[in-house]
Amino acid sequence: DTAVSQTPKYLVTQMGNDKSIKCEQNLGHDTMYWYKQDSKKFLKIMFSYNNKELIINETVPNRFSPKSPDKAHLNLHINSLELGDSAVYFCASSQQPRTGWERGNYGYTFGSGTRLTVV
């Protein structure tokens, strides 16, 4: 039973197209994230939602638009794809601590990733 499932796993598309990636978690977590991982393995945060509310929106082109219909789902739509968008996109979820000092199982659970190739 997959905890964080992400589809599709691979996406090859032409420049200028619009595509979507979907993510679902069954862990009951409050918070979901989108990360972009470049070829050098750096994980760069893009967006985060907490209970359907957008809480983190890093400097990302507005061609990228996240949507969270409920706290278990977070989708990413990308318009007018460019070559530089080629990367692996990871969805993740986590439980929300009540304070910054609270200890517990607050690490992220990642989805399997979507390898996007723009040609």
Residues that bind another protein (CB under 8 A): 30-31, 40-43, 45, 48, 50-51, 53, 55-56, 90, 94-101, 103, 105-113
On the CB side of 48, how many CA atoms lie within 13 Å of its CA?
15
- Which C-beta is closer to another protein: that of 9 or that of 80? 9
Burial class (CB in 10 A: 0-12, 13-18, 19+), 23: buried
User: Cβ 88 to another protein, closest distance in Å?
Assistant: 9
- As a whole number of angstroms, the distance between CA 85 and CA 38 comes to 9
Could you tell me the smallest distance in angstroms from the CB atom of residue 112 to another protein?
Answer: 5
Residue nearer to another protein on the CB measure, 81 or 114: 114
